[in-house]
Structure 1
Amino acid sequence: MKRITMGLSLLTMVMAAHAQDKSKPAGDSAKVSKNMAYEKVITKDAITRQGMFTVHLVDNKYYFEIPDSLLKRDILVVTRFVGTPELSGVYAGEKANERTIYFEKGQGNKLLMRVDVFSVRVKDENQALAKAVQSSAIKPITAAFDIKTVNSANGNMVIDVTDFLKKDNSALSIDAAVKNDMKLGSIADDRSFITSVNAYPINIEVRTTRTYTTSGAAIPAAALSGAVTLEMNVSMVLLPKEPMRKRLFDERVGFMASKYILFDEDAQVSQEKYLIQRYRLEPKPEDLEKYKRGELVEPVKQIVYYIDPATPKKWRPYLIAGVNDWQKAFEQAGFKNAIVAKEWPEGDTTMSLEDARFSVIRYLASPIPNAYGPRISDPRSGEIIESHVGWYHNVMKLIHDWYMIQVGPNDARARKMVFDDELMGDLIRFVSSHEIGHTIGLRHNMGASSQTPVEKLRDKAWVEANGHTVSIMDYARFNYVAQPEDNIGKAGLYPRIGAYDKWAIQWGYKQIFNTSDEYQDSKILNKWVVDSLAANPRLWFGGEGKGEDPRSQTEDLGDDVMVANEYGIKNLKRVVPELVKWTAEDGDMDDNLERIYKGVVKQYTKYLYHVMKYIGGQYVTRKSAEQPGDVYEKLPKARVKEAISFIGRNLMEPPLWLYDKSITTRLNIFEMDEIMTMQNNMMTTILNAGMMYNLVQRYTNGKEQYTVTEYLNDVKKAVWKPLAGDPVKDTYYRGVQRMYVEKLVMAINTSRLKEGKLLNNLERSDASLYARTHLQAIKNELMISNVPGALNQAHKTNLIREIDKSLKGDDK
């Protein structure tokens, strides 16, 4: 009994001690309360703003008053540029940094700020495995604050954040890559200050001016002063207490996604998973049964985009229309009026353009011809919190030039340097829709345009009803296949939101019921993909256009690019003779002509390289186990042959039409140099040893064989033009023949072998043997050929000599 009594006494003493401590702040806070009363820190002169945190300004110092309820709550911190130097390469509205942070109590009267990281997850938090993952995922402490005082009325902790907000730190600083590009050095404390701190219900907005030392002489302000001053805005946004239901990425549907590593006790290996980024769209509770029955309902929270009040007023209706065009897509996911654009309420002082609660289409006064549509999303769930579309002023220059060059023969409105407001407005609307597509989560789908039959692009009724591509997320630009005699109106020339876009929104946003988590959801989503693609193959997602599949390219059209681009070249042949007239403006010193003509040449080379991708590429169609057929499929031999023939007709036969004398004499263009450079670049690609090696690997086995010998004969037939005595054309033909022999010689000679180095598989392959055999055949033909003229005869003799040197391995 004595031992039990002593134990009870000890327990009583401990409980009493704890009871006493409960009335005082933990750790050193008792000392703080005694020595630093709340009223002495937050004086009667404080300027106070209520919001997510209560913010106080006292004697030029800023304090956050943080309640216990917000400890360990994730806060998304987004730093943006508000004002930037001229020609600095960064613009107002662009993101400079992003972190997720949270606060927690620390030892020694400290409040710690940690950076939350979400790169590793467990499938079930109740699994024992979760402990192992947690012990290997300690969150870094990015700042530690002294608790200056505690508000006795509510227990809120008060910290001084002045230096934290004003100086550089990992949570608020500019991204390291941007700093490097701008050559920013250390921050100058004496020239950096806090402009304002505003509090809102779920966010804090901090405006600062920061001055950095710099060696960035390319920035005019830096060259003059040795410093760069930036105006910055930091949004600290409280993330939802309950994260949105996650949705797993499927590479057959083009959504932006965030990667993580998944650990699961029931799996024998860790898995790479991705969460798609999307807005939280949910039916109102009272409409849930209607939604389940398939009736259109309005979401709990509408997606709203505001138009920057700096935007010229005449373009605002078109930007708004570009946003509202997505309403039809969201209807396919079961929601009506899900997305809308509005004018910014300029008289409302409670709203700020930098407030992360508001998505804004920002107008950027920049010479950059571009636009972009980033998103800020909850890293825990993929929920898009807000988006800022950046619309650079000179994007109008870009779309003007595309439209004039691609469809000038079809639309008389395109034949001048300043478009009417209605036409330019229509083009801005299309750009707005494309960029909004990114902000709601969609990636580019560069394969979309390949799903439209070429001849349908010339069918007035069909193309005006369906559009020339199934996705506005493609870089399909304008319908350059249409010919003037087709009489196609603007509905068949402009891009629009198409069938793929609507289906992708349905897949990403339609609610799923009666499942326990995102992993069960993914099984349903997989079935949606399999069934949808089986019913409508035009819904294929072709990716970003960076791979080897020739169906997935930027700025191409139709299911047969050889035919489509022949139509495109026919239109360019109509454009070139008209350029001097179309680009004329009073006082212009041919700057307009030079700009548009360069665009024509660029368009022409795009047509060539669209076709070039059919030589050496392969089809890639991502599939799940339920889908039949190959993922990787070699191109039909006939398609490769068509591509070679196209290159022969449209490049190796010199495109003299591109160099109209009315243009070359005004711009001092030397067509021979330009044409031969293009020919040489193309020949380097189609006659290199790597191309031959690819053919050996892909076409040696299987029903359809395409030998390197047959390939080389096809190339020679297309590009080796016989000398005929025409002084102009023979000059080009001789150049092509010399290039042809030169490239084959390069395929034969292996410098690594001469240097005594190990060869790789390409160099050990039969590619050099094919090239050597082909060269010998060319020599044999040259020996018995008759060519007109002394110059042609000298050329022939020189080619034979070069081939002999190569075949003998004599470099002298």
Structure 2
Amino acid sequence: MKKWMTALTLLPAITVLGQEKEKAVQKDSVPVVKSTTGLQAYEKVITKAALTRQGMFTVHLVDNKYYFEIPDSLLGREILAVTRYVATPEQTQSYGGEKVNEQTLYFERGPQNKLFARIKVYRATVKDTTEAIYKAMQTSGVTPIAAAFDIKCIHPANGNVVIEVTDFFRKDNSIVAMPPAEKTEKKLSGFIDDRSFINSIRSYPINVEVKTTKTFSVSTGASAAGSAAGALTFELNTSMVLLPKVAMRRRLFDNRVGYFASRYSLYGDDLQEVKTYDFIARYRLEPKDEEVEKYKRGELVEPKKQIVYYIDPATPKKWRPYLMAGVNDWQNAFEQAGFKNAIVAKEWPENDTAMSMEDARFSVIRYFASDIPNAYGPHVSDPRSGEILESHVGWYHNVMNLVRDWYIIQAGPLDARARKMEFDDELMGDLIRFVSSHEIGHTLGLRHNMGASSQTPVEKLRDKAWVEANGHTVSIMDYARFNYVAQPEDNIGKAGLYPRIGMYDKWAIQWGYKNIFNTADEYADSKVLNKWIVDSLRANPRLWFGGEGKNEDPRSQTEDLGDDHVKASDYGIANLKRVVAALPQWTAEEGDLYNNLAHMHKRVASQYLRYVMHAMKNAQGGAYVTEKSVEETGNVYTPIPKAIIQATLDFMGRQVIMPPLWLYPAAITGKIKTNPMEDICSIQNSLLNNLLNPGILYTIMQKNLDNSNSYTVPAYLTDVKKAVWRKFTGNNAQDVYLRNAQRAYVDRLVMILKPKSLEEGKMPTNAERSDARLYVRMHLTQLKGEVLQMSGTSSLEVLHKQDLIQQIDKALNPDKK
């Protein structure tokens, strides 16, 4: 989720690849003369008093100084340095376990008895290092030297070099400290040397763990804790993890399956252009050597290395089983990729001092004591291959507040357990489980699939047998919270209300994790993967990946349900009316000063607006966008049918222009502060700004040029007018809003005739300059005639009519005095 209920991030910050094959790895060469001249004797540096730990590097502590002893075999090997917070000051909005920095580095011998640490940024690759273009790539850049160390001594028995690393880790640097952007955000102004120190350095077989305490002075605007002390202190942990000697084979990204991906450029003597590829993030999941043939035959086998997630011991015990269940739910998905027992959740072994939650070898669901209503699922991957090495899921305590509100509002009319502010443990546990599954999906490499919910017909969402058997969306990676379409009379149980891992998730895991045999490289693999997609989507179009919900396609939206937004939103609003009527009872708690009621009423109003915007996107000039390869039939871009747009406009007339006064019953407005006129008028004005803008009219014109049978601008304006120009009811509580909508309608059309850019002396846009202005002029002329025929039954309606005519005349004849 981080933030998964908001418009979250999609592809990570792009990294690019440096070597195609391990044999191609060549480091920047520096003249090196291996000499012991000027070096101290080993026993003078690493004395008998040294505290020594064996591991990837041998770590020595002598007289409060830390030394690394590095063998020649590890010089030149890539190391991933991941720095995380261990503990943070209050009110900094950062928590233990969150990643601060990530760098790939390697050590090499330098001149004059120096050891260099170079930062590796992966940019480009070649298929064959014997090609001439590889030489050009080698001379096109130099890997930066991020740190230089004096070699203190050399181990006489094995030739290991010894360097002191005390100040490297204790002080501030680009490899193992907070990046500049993080310091700026937290208002950190300077490193305080005498309040910063190393807590410990421990070495393990493939990693070194360094815990430090670092203190910074603060500038104006820092947190309360920083302002009071004039400084902020952080505890950090840096995991230096040795990357595999042989990188996992990359799997190339495809837009039709939702994985996080990194980018690289491919050069080749025989290529007439630089090719750009993306490769996905995934765990290295392989069958055991003795079971490869069974795997090929389609038998389920256990992987060489199981994916394990540990539960933070700071997690309240009653919630641990549900978090673990959210992890274990993915086992069925991996079975579709050919693996059994591929993933499991375990309690953290609290008595095992050899394990650390900051250790980058272990994936952990970290529990944060925070009022942030959120959770998120990141991962750390090998930048050469996309191999996921570990993940630290961030779980904020107050995420329970978020899911409780969602469930009351969306499922309260359907589930009696949701009709109170404090849920029973079983219900809250179920909700925690679904969030856990979603976040674990991210850590496995999966992106959001906001189009998944559109693959379920609205009618099936009310079909008890069907929806309980199949779920209300095909993907847990969608933001399809709960089945708000179902009505009380449908008697649908929790199996038809909760999200679950669906058919898309299982297929996506199969596509990303099923092993491919007897191919030369990832480029050959991509042809196999393309065929899997083509065949699977032909057999089951519901496996469509709809992306992150940020393009023009109305099928791909957050928080929506079903294949018909108008019908789904009508059902959702019907349930919201039930919720509003019951809120005073559901939110009542002894001693509460109606704070619960005010909070939940605000949530209901937001949910209503969300339903309106789901339908609105049908009318915003978009198209259905279905990514396809050349082997697939049909168009990528398909116009939204005119009938759907007309149904959307009718919905807006019924649910927005006719004011939603049901949101403000006396039982609520008499207890909490509300402002219905401001709220409703703002929604109506926003609606008309969306429906009547030059961009949409311009798009309609373009589509009509492409297809003469599509919507025309005059027809569209007529349908918008039908939605807005509704007969007055004689009830002033309603009519005041209808008059507001009519005035806003005229004002918006007037703005098209005289765009703001002209008033500001700027060149109008193509849309503002287009024939849309002429159509609007024609429409206003026709509208004036209809307004003249309006009958006013009150003095206010007569004045309203006169005001409209005056506004229209002024727009049509601006020079007339």
Report the alpha carbon displacement of residue 451 of structure 1 after superposing the two structures with TM. 0.2
Higher mean alpha-carbon deviation, 241-250 vs 219-228, is at 219-228
Would the aligned equivalents of 2:752 and 2:768 in 1 still touch at CA under 8 Å? no
Instruction: Report what 1:277 is aligned to.
Output: 281
State the AA in 2 paired with 1:38. Answer: Y
Pick from 391, 399, 406: which aligns with 2:403? 399
> Which aligned pairs between 1:249-648 and structure 2 lie closer than 5 A?
249-615=253-619, 616-648=621-653
Q: TM-score, normalised by structure 1?
A: 0.95
SS at match of 1:206: strand
Would the aligned equivalents of 1:451 and 1:469 in 2 still touch at CA under 8 Å? yes
Q: Rate the CA distance shift 1:751–1:593 in 2: closer, same or farther, 3 A.
A: closer
Q: Rate the CA distance shift 1:703–1:96 in 2: closer, same or farther, 3 A.
A: same
SS at match of 1:189: strand
> Which aligned pairs between 1:243-254 and structure 2 lie closer than 5 A?
243-254=247-258
Question: Are residue 221 (structure 1) and residue 225 (structure 2) matched?
Answer: yes
Instruction: Report what 2:662 is aligned to.
Output: 657
SS at match of 2:670: helix
Greater RCO, CA 8 A, separation 6+: 2
Question: Are residue 57 (structure 1) and residue 61 (structure 2) matched?
Answer: yes
Instruction: Report what 2:722 is aligned to.
Output: 717
State the AA in 1 paired with 2:814. Answer: G
Pick from 106, 119, 138: which aligns with 2:123? 119
Counterpart-to-counterpart distance in 1, 2:426 and 2:378: 28
Alignment deviations for residues 483-537 of structure 1 (CA, whole Å, 9 cap, x no partner): 1111111000000000000000000000000001000000000000000000000
Alignment deviations for residues 163-186 of structure 1 (CA, whole Å, 9 cap, x no partner): 110111111121332222112122
SS at match of 2:391: strand
Counterpart-to-counterpart distance in 2, 1:755 and 1:196: 63
State the AA in 1 paired with 2:108. Answer: E
Report the alpha carbon displacement of residue 685 of structure 1 after superposing the two structures with TM. 0.9
SS at match of 2:618: coil
> Which aligned pairs between 1:197-208 and structure 2 lie closer than 5 A?
197-208=201-212
State the AA in 1 paired with 2:224. Answer: P
Report the alpha carbon displacement of residue 753 of structure 1 after superposing the two structures with TM. 3.7
Would the aligned equivalents of 2:59 and 2:67 in 1 still touch at CA under 8 Å? yes
Report the alpha carbon displacement of residue 687 of structure 1 after superposing the two structures with TM. 0.8
Report the alpha carbon displacement of residue 188 of structure 1 after superposing the two structures with TM. 0.7
Instruction: Report what 1:91 is aligned to.
Output: 95
Report the alpha carbon displacement of residue 756 of structure 1 after superposing the two structures with TM. 5.0
Would the aligned equivalents of 1:184 and 1:216 in 2 still touch at CA under 8 Å? no
Report the alpha carbon displacement of residue 282 of structure 1 after superposing the two structures with TM. 0.4
Would the aligned equivalents of 1:32 and 1:149 in 2 still touch at CA under 8 Å? no
Counterpart-to-counterpart distance in 1, 2:50 and 2:624: 67
Instruction: Report what 1:9 is aligned to.
Output: none
Counterpart-to-counterpart distance in 1, 2:595 and 2:760: 51
Report the alpha carbon displacement of residue 650 of structure 1 after superposing the two structures with TM. 0.4
Would the aligned equivalents of 1:182 and 1:216 in 2 still touch at CA under 8 Å? no
Instruction: Report what 1:32 is aligned to.
Output: 38
Report the alpha carbon displacement of residue 218 of structure 1 after superposing the two structures with TM. 4.4
Counterpart-to-counterpart distance in 2, 1:694 and 1:623: 23
Counterpart-to-counterpart distance in 2, 1:684 and 1:809: 22
Question: Are residue 784 (structure 1) and residue 789 (structure 2) matched?
Answer: yes
Counterpart-to-counterpart distance in 1, 2:278 and 2:359: 28
Counterpart-to-counterpart distance in 2, 1:373 and 1:156: 39
State the AA in 2 paired with 1:499. Answer: M
Report the alpha carbon displacement of residue 28 of structure 1 after superposing the two structures with TM. 6.7
Pick from 152, 157, 178: which aligns with 1:153? 157
Alignment deviations for residues 46-97 of structure 1 (CA, whole Å, 9 cap, x no partner): 1111110000111111110000000110000001011111110111111001
Q: Greater Rg, structure 1 or structure 2?
A: 1
Percent identity, aligned pairs only, is 65
State how many pairs are aligned.
786
Report the alpha carbon displacement of residue 764 of structure 1 after superposing the two structures with TM. 1.8
Counterpart-to-counterpart distance in 2, 1:171 and 1:355: 17
Report the alpha carbon displacement of residue 760 of structure 1 after superposing the two structures with TM. 2.6
State the AA in 2 paired with 1:646. Answer: F
Would the aligned equivalents of 1:194 and 1:209 in 2 still touch at CA under 8 Å? yes
Instruction: Report what 2:105 is aligned to.
Output: 101
Counterpart-to-counterpart distance in 2, 1:414 and 1:753: 54
Any stretches of 5+ residues in structure 2 without a counterpart?
1-30
Would the aligned equivalents of 1:203 and 1:235 in 2 still touch at CA under 8 Å? yes
Report the alpha carbon displacement of residue 810 of structure 1 after superposing the two structures with TM. 4.7
State the AA in 1 paired with 2:443. Answer: T
Would the aligned equivalents of 1:74 and 1:100 in 2 still touch at CA under 8 Å? yes
Report the alpha carbon displacement of residue 755 of structure 1 after superposing the two structures with TM. 5.4
Report the alpha carbon displacement of residue 29 of structure 1 after superposing the two structures with TM. 3.1
Would the aligned equivalents of 1:723 and 1:788 in 2 still touch at CA under 8 Å? no
SS at match of 1:31: coil
State the AA in 2 paired with 1:29. Answer: S
Q: Rate the CA distance shift 1:757–1:597 in 2: closer, same or farther, 3 A.
A: closer
Counterpart-to-counterpart distance in 1, 2:551 and 2:169: 44
> Which aligned pairs between 1:735-750 and structure 2 lie closer than 5 A?
735-750=740-755
Counterpart-to-counterpart distance in 2, 1:175 and 1:445: 31
Report the alpha carbon displacement of residue 637 of structure 1 after superposing the two structures with TM. 0.6
Alignment deviations for residues 628-649 of structure 1 (CA, whole Å, 9 cap, x no partner): 1111111111111111111111
Pick from 680, 689, 692: which aligns with 1:675? 680
Instruction: Report what 2:5 is aligned to.
Output: none
SS at match of 2:245: coil
State the AA in 1 paired with 2:136. Answer: A
Would the aligned equivalents of 2:310 and 2:364 in 1 still touch at CA under 8 Å? yes
State the AA in 1 paired with 2:617. Answer: K
State the AA in 2 paired with 1:273. Answer: Y
Question: Are residue 793 (structure 1) and residue 798 (structure 2) matched?
Answer: yes
Would the aligned equivalents of 2:566 and 2:615 in 1 still touch at CA under 8 Å? yes
Pick from 684, 695, 699: which aligns with 1:694? 699
Pick from 773, 777, 784: which aligns with 1:772? 777
Instruction: Report what 1:5 is aligned to.
Output: none
Alignment deviations for residues 285-334 of structure 1 (CA, whole Å, 9 cap, x no partner): 01011000000000000000000000000000001110000000000000
Alignment deviations for residues 371-422 of structure 1 (CA, whole Å, 9 cap, x no partner): 0000000000000000010100000000000000001000000001110000
Would the aligned equivalents of 2:76 and 2:107 in 1 still touch at CA under 8 Å? yes
Report the alpha carbon displacement of residue 726 of structure 1 after superposing the two structures with TM. 2.4
Counterpart-to-counterpart distance in 2, 1:146 and 1:597: 65
Alignment deviations for residues 684-718 of structure 1 (CA, whole Å, 9 cap, x no partner): 11111111111111233315221111001000001
Counterpart-to-counterpart distance in 2, 1:656 and 1:37: 86
Report the alpha carbon displacement of residue 472 of structure 1 after superposing the two structures with TM. 0.1
Q: Rate the CA distance shift 1:765–1:111 in 2: closer, same or farther, 3 A.
A: same
